[in-house]
Every structure is written in structure tokens, then in C-alpha cells.
Structure 1
């Protein structure tokens, strides 16, 4: 370590000790290693400096901007003989001297900001300056390139290109991959990732008895061909498209956007290329000779909340709806937090308020109204609408599941004949227009081609242009997140300066380019991930590996992930035999605690009271659960489902006591346990065999000897209890919409039901391993 660096570090250490903040002093990189602005320096400056010295000119202090080289190297506004950064000279670089200053009035970040740079961070900045303080364009704004496969030592392990990148990262960290998972785990993992359902007993037997080396790949192809694949993929897209069955706000009346959900399922099942999938949703109505299917896809833009309250200001809400469309597009498709620029220039990303309202202009040209009438007079769709007739459902829209003969109204997009003028709104306020702007895209991302039409169709073409650095990267990252639990970029909706850095940048770019080269083929991308050795690893956790990589960033094991809210419901339904596998159609109202809607309802409109579904409709998949925005369904919310208020590209995974209470007491789980027990008892087998059958249906594997012994002991304990007092268990057996005859409720039946409930409550039952 050179003397100047040592002196600087000692000064900082003394400063931190005097503040009561002692940090272990150690250089992150060696003196001769090249420091990257993007990967080492920008995150430090972004967290600590850009709020006052970043892109937002209105909040910039001392005229110093540190996010671009030209400004950082320039003379200071008030001290023309001084410079923020002087390449190769940290002594002459004012920002570094302010960082190590012991004078609170001089130190940066200032003490009142409650931000403190560590010794390591200051050391990195010093090394970067001494190495020439080279700035780099933000990685996500660079067009991705398909790098050559990296060198690896263990050439026997990879099954496809993905594995070269993941293994190279493991080897750099001196990690080795886990062994391949057992067939039981692989089948169950595939089944949940591709259909959101557990594998049936028949499918388990078919897979385990298939001796072909291609058995695994054949199973992937089988699952990709099932209608359930489209349903599984649609769960992600419903979160992105903020799909709901009501309008939100106070009265929160019913809406009929479900044909859009049917279209999304259909599009995924027929493997519509992603560029077309996006284009139709953004601008299907603007395509030449647009069909009703293409127009229906534009309902993506219309899924936001609508007010039905009298007395509101029409223009205020109209602007609110356009803001929502803009934010959903940028977060869900571009992976950018552009909404931060609604009121002022973005503090961290090179997105100005002007940029924001230029994007806003693309969506600002519809005949949509801010207020269309109150809930008593409203119809279940808002202008502009598209009518769907019986002849449509028998023709071009034959994928719609609609049994009624009445026409359906869906809110879709439509373009005004004359362009509505768009203005920058001062502080983002609807009634404070300032400078007029025209439709355009942020130049920092990718310049808008002047030959493109300045409407949503032009925006769609810009979005899906191979030169756009974000679109393919963002979608590939979402699919990676769906499979591995966390994206290569962990901040799935933020590829900007404050977003997470990619753990495997070359892999992300390779996949993005490969995705575009192969026609934006979604099923091919999904299969590519599932065919990798990285995916097929065991999820067993080695303590030494865990200590070295607790977040599994280097993928030296398969992740263990709690199932989504929808998949937990579907697992219970499918394994018990209750599942009604109908595809598409209107949403349904399953079991939920009494009085929830009524307690939060305004007392007006069709949704003022909860009318539970009946018959087979009670047993539809979680995708079809009715979502009232003001009172989201409790079971999905308890298991971290999206409340669908806004675009959401990733869900959190929490563990709370409420989740255990749901699995122990929800009527669906109790009914499923009883229903499965009823079906198993008809097999006339010994209790151990019945328990083993239930175990395999729910967990996708045979129970180990000790597991079976424990469950059988519990069965005998419950059998003795209910033999002595049958009435104790009778109330549990009458749960749900498929009642059982009282004479069939024997102590053995109740005991087996209790054992099945216990299996449903195992962690493994709701975990993908």
C-alpha cells in the first residue's frame, strides 16, 4: 500500500472512531486491480452523493454534478481554480479531500445527511481517481453483446451455455455446484415452474419409469404444451398489468376486464413472440386493419383504477390515468423507475422531467374520461370500450371462456384523430401545465428514430427494436426470477443507477441477445433455463457454501422457494382432487371470512356484499380469484400476493404466523383434507398405504420410513381420540361446499383427514425445492 493512501485511510479511521463508528479497515481490491466506475464507484456515489450532485439540476448543490465525467472534471462554480475530480491526482480532487476531512463543516457527505462513507469505500474512490477516474456509461443503457463462453475448469458439468457463465462465477469464488437433484425433486420443480401445479401420481410413475436419456427434456416439452402453462405464466403478467376485477377507489364497482386475462393465457400458450406480445398490448388498435384480438390486447393499458365518486375533477383523474399507463410501461417493460421524474428531474438516472412527459405524450391521446358517472349509473367498462359478441367468441376470440349470450364490454385503447397537446406539469400537478412537449423517448436509453410514427405504435417499435438495451434484458431477467427466485438483476423493476448490479452480467447479456436472435421465443427461453445443469442441481444446503454465499448469488445450489399464493391454493386443490380445471372466464369468489367486504364497502354498487361462488366454481385456480381493489382477497395477500393497485414485477416472500393459521384453519384446506381422505378410503387399502398415497400426491415423492412411522403414529393417536369422542371431529368434516353424508364420517375417516391436514402443513408442501 502506498504512503499517501495509508495516510488518507488513517485520517478516515480516526474520524470514524471519533464519531463512534469504527469500521474494519481493509482494501476491497488490490492496488493494481482495475476499478470499474459502474461496479465499484457509481453505487457509492449514487447512494451518498447523487441526491445533491446528480442529474436533478433543481436540487444540485454548488453546481457540482458527479454522475457525468465532463461535469465532474470541470472547474467548480465558486472556485474556478479547483476541480471536483482530477484524474490521477486525489490530492487535487476536491471531492476526495472533502470525504476525508475531519472538519464537520467541510466533510462530505455532510453529517446532517446521516450518510457515512466507510474506509473501504473511500479507499476505492481514491484508487479509482489515481487510476484515472474513468467514467463508463451505465451498463443497462449499453446495447447487450453476446460474449464468448468463459473458460471453466470442469468442462464435464455444463449442459448448455448458461452453465459456462454460472460455473465460471462459482470457480472464481472457489465454489463447486451441487449434485443433480433426485428425480422426485426435478419433476415437482418442473411441474410448479411450468404449470403452477403439483405432478399427479400417474405423471410421477410415468416419469420415474421412463428409462430414456431424454425423459427430462420430454417432460419439459409435455408441460410446455399444457394449457396450464399459459395460466402459470399469466400470474406474473397479471401483476405487471395490475389486473383486477373492480375499479378501486371508494365505491369500487365491478369491471369486466377478464377477457384480457383470457387473451394473455392464450398468447402464452400459443407462444406468441414477446415483441409481438408487447406491440399488441401497447398499440394493437393502431396496427393496420386491427382485429378485435389485437384491440383486446390493449386492455393492458386500461387496468388501472378508475374513480366513480361524484364531484371529482375530470381532468385531474384523466391525467392520473395517463400517469399510471406511463409508469406501468416503464416499470413493467423497460425496468425503469421513470415515475420519479414526474415532479422533477430524476435524482439518480439521466431522465429529466421533460423526458417523462415526452413519454407521457404517447399515452395522452385517447378519448378516455377522468369521470364517467357515479357507481349507480355506471356500466362495467369505461370509455373507450370494445363490444364482444357471441359471434366473436365463436370466431377470432374463440379462446374466450364465455357461456352467456349477453355482450361483454372491455376497456381498451383508442386514438384521438387530432393530437392532444402535452405539457410538462409543474411539480407533476394536473392543473399546472408549463412547457409544451411532443412524444419522444429518453435519449439516455436509445434515441427515437425520426422515421417512426409519434404514437403508441411508434413507441412499440422503439421498445422492441434490437438496439433497445432494456426490453430483452428486462424480460429475460423476469423469467430468470420466476425460475430461480431472484433475477440476475435483483431489482427486477429498476435497471437504473440505484438498481442492483447484475450478479452475472455477461450471462444476462448473452441471454438477451440470444432471445432476440431466436425471434423473442418465450417457450424456448424457458426451456433453455430448465435444461441447464444450474437449474437441475439439488437444493441441499452445505454449511460451508452457505457461509460463503448465504444469498446463493453464485447459484452453487438450487434455491428453496416458498410457492406463490396462487400455487399454494392450486396445490391444495389439485392434490386433493377438488380442482376444477376450467381455463379462463370471469373471476370467482372463493371462501373468505364473513363481513370483510361489508365492513369496507360504501354500501353502493354490485360489490357491496360478498356473494361466494357455488359448485365447481369454488374450486377454480388461484389465477381466477376475484380481486376487489379496496378489499383484496385475504388468503393471497397473507401469502404475499399482489394487491394489484399498481404494476408489480416481483413479490416479496415473508413468513408470518398468519400463514400457518391459514394452512391449519382455512375452509379450503380442511375441505381438501376431507375430500382426499374420502377418495383414498374408497381404495380399501391399509392406513399406511393411504397415508403414503396422500404424501405422494401432496409432496411429489414417497415418504421415508421414519416419516411414514411418524404420520402413522399420529393417525393412530387421532383414531383413538375420535373413537372415544367422535363428536369432537364432526365439525371439521362439514367444512366446505361438498358436504359428506354423516353416516360416512367414521373415526378412521376423521383421523385420516387430520393426517392429511398435517401433511399440508409441512414446510415442504408449500416450498419448491
Structure 2
């Protein structure tokens, strides 16, 4: 909080000493906020005096006297204490360095004498229609501004020139210079509506969402990392940034924009994008340090969500009420925790969303093509299996005969010794003398073992996997999990003939022990999220036997490859640690048919149901070449479908049962006091829950944008005005409380707020209205006649000159050089950065790998932002640290900024690219150097050079040429040839002007 509200200075400066009465809102409330409320406010009421409302101020004091007696300043203790010279009674106390002026004290005395009328704080009053002749829209803006100027005898500034307006609009709306074609379209258009059409074209550009999205991301405290000590990357953070860009480009109404970000998950049947929007409140910092109290940092995140909401939508420092009632504004500590309760009942969760709209559209096309392919292959599979129904009786007879023949036969296990073995994750597989394999070394969350064997003589009808205990394993194994368990998600066999694999179909897996929920059959379902496990049976040998659908006869190829897959990610490190594989030699009843098919044969085909007939045909398909080929082709197609372009993002979700929210004594999470329910400050309109019981986040979001809530529409309108003038109508854009600034033009603020409401909360409509006003279009030149009267341009007698933000500084350089990628959205990128910066990260846990190709030249807003080691060029130009919501960036002017644009790698490369482009223009035309210089100025500054500029830079060009002709090595380093190097030197000068990075 500032010590002195600038609103008071403004009003003291412009107020007339001869006015009829004292204005409470302008003269008294700021006085109380500055000198009194710290001890006589909501939190403290020393002596029984509270200056928070008229009713409180008129109460009898603890001493028995009256603090304020309307109409009687001589009987009012407040006035007496202000006027007395007695050191013990003087107010404010003499120890306070800041003292009120004689005029300020006189104002209080006069106010009491006039009846001590107490007006509501301006921010809480209903939004009013403009008085008098003020019209709506751009003309209304101009009427209100010019009426104020006229009353003070001040004339507005003339309209800026066309080149200046072109640059202003493009810098404000897109953060990019216009292309030569866009510039020509406007500059050559002399029609009356040329300007408004140019504004509309810029508003329709997809780069508008980037420019204005970056403003919003400041408020959302967006970053690509967690913060705190470890500051781990957040690889999914960019998807919320894309949501913001898309929403702003689509001109999503600001009420909807609000609701979806605060409570999109609570809407009826929310879309994935609406759930994604709640990532606004997942931009909070995350502490992953060892030993932290998770509840403490959960509450810290809820504090942040509460205070960010208060800052962004209410423009109030609600955080001042976290530990005690607000000393100045009408927010009690109880009300703070009622707001806190809305977010205390939200949980941090994740949700799957499409990577982008374009990706989803491409997926839909691929999926349609794949569906057609599946349809064709299903039809082929049905056609080839249809004749097999006629062979069921013949097959039944054959099976009856063979079952009799094989009755009593037993297969003989033959231990297989691997001649090749490997681990996909580089674990060590050692074959032992007994044919078993022991796994050691690196333990990975998942792994696949691949082994090759020579088969014994005879018909091989199946395989047996023995999971063997081992003293070297946890709990004697046989798994490498901490409890000796494993999860085998897949077991497959391939026959190799001349190195070409053919998969063998397995059936009837049978295990010696099965953990509940992890059956043996799961090894054959090709689902990595299932598998066979043996919890409860560890520490001893367990077996799993498989039968071959088509046994391998004596004359079959004798080399097989077996894969043991451990892909069950829910139980990482659950891998087999010691095992042996045997072949089953000799056919048996078990290998001939599955148990289900044997039961069918026993039943007799005349009693089979249609479903049982289908089961029998499924088996016959495996022995019919045409039908089996069609089956395999269908299986391949089913497994080769396009994967949905989905990614997991961090979002909020509502807790099923509400937490018991309590007031925290001094904000300490270990000191809970009284319970509270969700609620809103009493000074604002009542919240209306949509159903019985306590309101939730959706009710809060809708309360913020309900028409009778005067704050959010004023706050959001003020933010939009601020982006177009550099300052808001309320200068303290993040503080509309009594310690903040009063609006310089209250009626104008309300006009803009009403325009938002009446135009359906359209951001673009309000921007268009403001930009079409004569007030916005004024020249920004400083005026001597206002140097003393209005040095800060609070009366809006001219436009403001604004240095663009750090991201835009870089964007402008890349755009001028022709390097800038126009790609919109997508993951964050890593433009060149000194390696020493990334090494500042905790324990060297982060590596900055410079992006290549187009990503090297993306817009600055896409640069990966690491909270503890941010991109230096951005910080140099005042980019916020993303630890808290930033409503308005500070603007500094330092030598290091000029040195950065002159020497940093990105800017040097841009100057070289621009120099090369300029040097090759106009060929050998007469006066080519002058023409090139004009092109350089038009490219960078959207104007032609003045005569003195042209003369100076041509001299520099000639001098540089001579120097680089002599110093060829320097020329090579600076651009290639002496000519390119010379123009690079000139380009660096123009790019490094204040004008280039300033919006006039």
C-alpha cells in the first residue's frame, strides 16, 4: 500500500478553494485513510472511535465524549484532537512523520460543521448513467473528457498523424508492426472511415489474442514452472495459455471468461475446454521440497486464489484481511475467510484436453478414414468366417476323436536356455547354469525382457514360466518390487524363420497363484494397465503355463523369441527378478482345446446356443488361412487407429464434501478459530446461490458478473482503458479501496463499465469504442502549457507515450528483421540464452536446450518462463516474476536495456538479418543508399527519415563500409560481406532508438 493516495494530491491540486461544500469522497475519506484508519478502522478502534461509517463515527467514545457531532465541530473530539497543540492529545500522534496540512484539517472542520454527511465509497456505488448531454460510445467518451478540459480552459491535443495512429493501433492491439501491405492499405485510404476499418482489421487478427492474452497472463501469474526451491518445469502449462489466446480472439464475453476460469468445472456438462479454463487458479506456486507440510502449502495456494480473485476482479487488497480485519477497506477477517471458503472446497486435479483445436480436427479426419478401414476389414473378416459355420459338425467329430486319443497324455517340460537376452531399459540379465535368468542392475518403472531359445525335438505344445525366489531380491522375490512382487502385463512368443518373426497364438494361461485383480489371463489381453501378479504368494516359486493354439511340430522352425512385458505403470519397479522358461513337449488335451471348448464338445453341437457357435467358429478361424489372415488384418487395423491428441493439464475440481473452513488466527494454518461458510463482503450486493445450501465457486463467479455488482465491470473496464492509455482512469488499477486512487473521470469510468454491460461484456467492442474516440486519437507530444498544470496527463488532454513490454521489444526486432514466426499457440520455446542463467536453477535440475528452426523465432510470450531463472531479456524490460498476480507492470528506464537491445544475441541476429535484407534492396539504382535508408525507417519506424537523420546515417554507412573493407574478419562476424556488415551497423542504430520500442 502507498503512504499517500495520489487521488488526494490530484484533488488538492485541481479543487477550487471557493467551493460551496466539502465533498466527503474527495476530501474527507482520503484524509481518514491517510491519517486515521490505521488506529480507528475496521481492525482497531482506539478509544472507541471507528471512522468506517457514519453510524460508527457518531457513537459515544470510551471517554464519554462524542467523536463527531454533526453541525458542531467545537463539540467533536475528532476536530479538537486535530486542532490542539497538546502533545499528548494531538492527532495524528506527533510521532507520525506525515502531518496533515492546515487546509486538510480545515476541510474536516468544515465537513463536521456542514453536518458530517457520509457518502459511500465511490467504488461501491451503483454504476450511473452519464449526466447531462453525454452520449454513449466514442462520442460519450469525448464529451466527458472535453467537458472537463473546457471547464479548466484547456484545449485537447490535435489528432495524431496517420503514421502515428497506424503504429499506435498495431502496437496496442497486436504488439507487432503492420506489414507493408497492411500499412499501404490504411495510408493510401483517404476515406472517412479508413481509421475505423484499420482498427477492425487489427481486432480481427489472430495476433490480437496473443497481445491481450499476455496482459491477462500477467494477472493469472502464468509461468512454466512450479516456483520455490526446486522450481520443477510444468510441461502442460502452455495449454492454458492457448485457452486464453483462443478465448480472447473469439471475443468470449468477459462474464463467461470469468465464470469458466473460476468455475468451469461446475457448469452443467462442462466441455474439456471449460474444465481447462480453471487452470487460471492452478498457476499457484507448488512446493516440492522434501519434508514440507502439504496442508500448509495447500492453504498457501488457497490464500493466493482468494487474493488473486480479489485483485483481478474486485481490485481490492483483500490479502490485508488475512491476519486481521482490513485497516482501511470494509473487509473483515471473517469476510476474508468466507471468500477463502469458496476455494478451500476446490481440489487440485488433472483433466485430459485436446492439444489444440487444429490437432482435434486433424484427428477427426484421420479417425473417419480409420473407421472406414475398420468397416472394410470387419466386412472381410465376416465374409471369410461365414463358411466355417458349415464345418462345425465335422470339427466336432474330429475333436471328439482326438480328445479320446490324447486322454491321459502328459506334456514333458524342457528347460530352455537362452542364447540371446536383453532388457529394453538396460537392466542386466544373467543366464545361470540351471537355465534360469537373474535380473540385476538398473531398476526402471517399466521394462521388457526379450529372450531367444532353441526348441527341443518333438512337438512343442506350450510354455511354462517359473517365477523363482532369490535371496538377492526384496522379500526373496521373485519380483524386484519392494515387497517382492511383480506385474507381468504381457507374455508373447514368436517363431523365427530366417530371422522373420511369426507370432504364435497362446491360450488357456494357468497360474499356480493369482493376486486378486491380477489374473493370469491379463497377460494375453495386450493391455498395459493389467497383468498377472502374486501379492500374498511372494517368497516362493510360482508358475504360469500357456498352451499354443497351433502346436509347433517337429519340422517347424526351432528358434523362438519370447517377450516378458512389465508395462503396468501404476506399480513401478514391479519387474520379474528371477525366472526360468520351459517348453512343453507333447500334445495333450489341455493343448488341444481351451476348457470352454472342451465343455462344448462334451455338450454336443445340437445343444449349442448361437453365442456358443460363435465361440467355436472363433477357434476354427485360427486354423483357416483366409479367415485367419482377415482376423489378423482386422486386429492390426484395430491396434493402429489414430491416438486422440490429448494431454493432461492441471485444473481445479470441486471437493465432494466441503472442508470445514475456519478463521485462521493471524493467518496461521495451525491456529484455526471459528468456522465460516462461503460468503461475500457485506459492502457489496448479496450473492444468490443457485440451489439450497452454501454457495460454491460457480455462484461466486456469477456473483462477480451480476449486473448489480458495481466493482468487476468498473475494474475490467479500467484495465482495458489502462492498456490503451498506459494508465487507468483509476491509476491504482489493482486497488479500488479507500487507499487507492479515486477515478480521474468518474462518469467516464461508469460509461465504460456500462458499455461493457450493455454490449454483452464484449472486450473487443469496448476497445473499438475507445479507439475510435478523439481522446484516444490525440497526439502524444508533450505540451508546455500543461507542464505545470497537468504533468501526468490526468486530464487526458493528450495521449501518452508508452515503452512496450519486454516480450514486445523482442517481437518488434524479429518482425522488422523478417525473422518472426507467426505461428500461434503451442508448447513453450527456448530461444538462445546464456547457459549460466539456467545453471542458477536448484541443484542444476534444469537444462535450457536452445530451440531450432521456427521455434527459435517465436513471439516472446511463448518463451519458457522459469520462475527462479527467468529469461534475462524479459526481466531486463520489467517482466513480472509470476509469483503473484500482476495487474500493471512497472516500467523502468535503465542503461542495461539499451545495452541489451544493442548486444544481446537475439537482437544482434535481428540487426544482421535486417541489414542483409536492406543491403540487397534497390540493386544499383541511383540514390540506392537513400532509398535503402528510407526503407529501413519505414520498416522500423513507419516513417521516412528527417534530413538530418538521413545525413548522419549515410555518413555512418560510408564510414562503416570503409572500415569493413579493411577489416574483413570483422565484416564476416558482423554480417558476412562488408556491405551487409555496414548496413547491419546502421540497422542496429535504428533498432536501438527509443522511438522503435515506444508506442506514441
- Report if aligned partners of 2:720, 2:767 keep a CA contact under 8 Å in 1: yes
Contact 1:28 1:120 in 2 (8 A): no
SS at match of 2:95: helix
Q: What are the superposed Cα offsets for residues 649-684 of structure 1, whole Å, 9 maximum, x if unpaired? A: 101111111111111111111111110121222324
Cα gap change, 1:149 to 1:254, in 2 (>3 Å): farther
1:40-59 equivalences under 5 Å are: 40-56=27-43, 59=44
SS of the residue aligned with 1:409? strand
Q: 1:450 to 1:624 in 2, by over 3 A?
A: closer
Aligned residue number for residue 127 of structure 2: 144
Would you say the 8 A contact 2:718–2:749 is kept in 1?
Answer: yes
1:556 Cα deviation after fit: 0.6
Aligned-residue offset at 1:592: 2.2
- The answer for the alignment partner of 1:723 in structure 2 is 965
Provide the residue aligned with 1:209 in structure 2.
188
Distance 1:419 1:396, change over 3 A: farther
Query: In structure 2, what is the equivalent of residue 293 of structure 1?
Result: 273
How far 1:30 sits from its partner (Å)? 3.4
CA distance in 1, matches of 2:683, 2:787: 39
Query: What is aligned with 1:13?
Result: none
1:714 aligns with 2:956: yes
Q: Given the alignment of the two structures, is residue 411 of structure 1 paired with residue 398 of structure 2, yes or no?
A: no
Q: Secondary structure in 2 aligned to 1:284?
A: helix
1:6-51 CA distance string (max 9 Å, x none): xxxxxxxxxxxxxxxxxxx999643552211111111111011100
Contact 1:580 1:619 (C-alpha < 8 Å) held by counterparts: yes
Larger Rg: 2
Give 1:732 shift: 3.3
Distance 2:174 2:285 in 1: 30
Task: Determine helix, strand or coil for the equivalent of 2:47.
Answer: coil
- d(CA) in 2 for partners of 1:166, 1:430: 49
Structure 1 CA distance, aligned partners of 2:335 and 2:310? 12
Q: For 1:510 and 1:220, how far apart are their aligned partners in 2?
A: 21
Q: 1:220 touches 1:527 (CA, 8 Å); kept in 2?
A: yes
How is 1:155-174 mapped onto 2 (pairs within 5 angstroms)? 160-174=139-153
Partner residue in 1 for 2:823: 582
| In 2, Cα distance between equivalents of 1:338 and 1:263 | 27
Q: Does 1:763 align with 2:994?
A: yes
Q: Counterparts of 1:47 and 1:141 in 2: how far apart (Å)?
A: 19
The answer to whether 1:325 aligns with 2:325 is no
Q: Does 1:336 align with 2:316?
A: yes
| Residue matched to 2:833 | 592
What residue number does 2:434 align with? none
Shift of 1:418: 1.1
Give the drift of 1:107: 0.7
**Distance of aligned partners of 1:390 and 1:298 in 2 relative to their CA distance in 1, 3 Å threshold:** closer
Higher mean alpha-carbon deviation, 630-639 vs 188-197, is at 630-639
Matched residues, number: 704
Equivalent residue, structure 2, for 1:433: 672
Q: Which moved more, 1:319-328 or 1:97-106?
A: 97-106
- Give the structure 1 partner of residue 105 of structure 2: 122
Q: Please report the TM-score for the alignment, with normalisation by the length of structure 1.
A: 0.89
Query: Following the alignment from structure 1 to structure 2, what is the Cα–Cα distance between the partners of residues 114 and 312?
Result: 42
Alpha-carbon distance between aligned partners in 2 of 1:397 and 1:112, rounded to the nearest angstrom: 71
2:30·2:738 contact (CA, 8 Å) conserved in 1? Answer: yes
Q: Is the 8 A contact 1:361 1:438 kept in 2?
A: yes
SS at match of 1:663: helix
Gaps of 5+ in 2: 1-11, 365-641
**Alignment partners' CA distance in 1, 2:359 and 2:817:** 34
Provide closer, same or farther for how the CA distance between residues 477 and 171 of structure 1 changes in structure 2, counting only shifts above 3 A: same
Cα distance, 1:724 vs. partner?
2.4
**For 1:101-125, what per-residue CA distance to the aligned partner results, in whole angstroms no more than 9, with x for missing partners?**
1121111110122231111211211
Q: Which residue of 1 aligns with 2:984?
A: 753
Deviation at 1:305, TM superposition (A): 0.6
> 1-side partners of 2:921 and 2:971: how far apart?
22
CA spacing shift, 1:163–1:404, aligned 2, 3 Å: farther
1:681 aligns with 2:919: yes
Say if 1:410 and 1:49 are closer, same or farther in 2 by CA, change over 3 A. same
Matched, 1:226 2:205: yes
Is the alpha carbon distance of 1:577 and 1:364 closer, same or farther for their aligned partners in structure 2, counting shifts above 3 Å? same
Residue of structure 1 equivalent to 2:94: 111
Q: Deviations over 1:530-574 (max 9, x none)?
A: 000001111111211222110000111111111111111111111
Shift of 1:589: 1.3
Offset of 1:727 from its aligned partner? 2.6
**Correspondence for 2:253:** 273
* Counterpart Cα distance in 2 of 1:493 and 1:397: 42
Moved more, 291-300 or 96-105: 96-105
Q: Return the structure number with greater strand share.
A: 2
One of 124, 130, 154 as aligned partner of 1:175: 154
Cα shift readout 1:342-371 (whole Å, capped 9, x = no counterpart) = 000000001001000100111111233xxx
Write the distance in 2 (CA, Å) between the matches of 1:557 and 1:31: 28
Q: 2:688 aligns with which of 445, 449, 452?
A: 449
Q: Decide which moves more: 174-183 or 158-167.
A: 158-167
Give the deviation of 1:510 after TM superposition.
1.4
* Cα distance, 1:101–1:228 mapped onto 2, change above 3 Å: same
Give 1:623's aligned residue: 861
Q: 1:349 aligns with which of 309, 323, 329?
A: 329
Q: Which residue of 2 aligns with 1:692?
A: 934
From 734, 749, 772, give the equivalent of 1:531: 772
> Does residue 544 of the first structure (1) align with residue 785 of the second (2)?
yes
Q: Using the TM superposition, name which of 27-36 and 507-516 deviates more.
A: 27-36
Q: Distance in 2 between matches of 1:68 and 1:496?
A: 14
C-alpha distance in 2, partners of 1:407/1:195?
30
Distance in 2 between residues matched to 1:440 and 1:699, nearest whole Å:
53
Offset of 1:396 from its aligned partner? 8.3
Q: d(CA) in 2 for partners of 1:389 and 1:91?
A: 71
Q: Deviations over 1:89-145 (max 9, x none)?
A: 221111111112112111111012223111121121122122211111111011111
Q: What is the CA-CA distance between 1:404 and the residue it aligns to?
A: 10
Shift in Å, 1:498: 0.7
Q: Which residue of 1 aligns with 2:743?
A: 502
Which has the higher mean CA deviation after the structures are superposed, 745-754 or 496-505?
745-754
Long gaps (5+) in structure 1: 1-24, 153-157, 369-383, 734-744
How far off is 1:451 after superposition? 4.8
Asked whether the 8 Å contact 1:53–1:64 carries over to 2, the reply is: yes
SS in 2 for 1:763: coil
1:36 maps to which residue?
23
Superposed CA RMSD in Å reads 2.1
- SS class of match (2:70): coil
CA deviation vs aligned residue, 1:52-96 (integer Å, no higher than 9, x gap): 00111xx32111111211121222112x2x211122222111111
1:194 and 1:398, CA in 2 relative to 1: closer, same or farther beyond 3 A? farther
Taking the aligned partners of 1:146 and 1:520, their CA distance within structure 2 comes to: 17
> How far has the Cα of 1:312 moved from its partner?
0.5
Closer/same/farther in 2, CA of residues 392 and 679 from structure 1, 3 Å limit? closer
CA contact (8 A) 1:538 1:558 kept: yes
Question: Shift of the alpha carbon at 1:445?
Answer: 1.8
In the TM superposition, residue 287 of structure 1 has moved relative to its aligned partner by 0.3
1:666 match:
904
Name the CA shift for 1:193/1:419 in 2 (closer, same or farther; >3 Å): same
Shift of residue 394, structure 1, vs aligned partner: 4.1
- Change over 3 Å in CA distance of 1:396–1:123 after alignment to 2: farther
8 Å contact from structure 1 (residues 285, 414) kept in 2: yes
341-350 or 194-203: which moved more?
194-203
Name which of structure 1's ranges 525-534 and 84-93 shifts more when overlaid on structure 2: 84-93
Q: Could you tell me the TM-score, scaled by structure 2's length?
A: 0.69
| Correspondences of 1:63-102 after superposition (within 5 Å) | 63-78=48-63, 80=64, 82-102=65-85
CA distance in 2, matches of 1:151, 1:333: 27
Deviations 1:441-478 (A, max 9, x none): 01112222255661111101111100111111000000
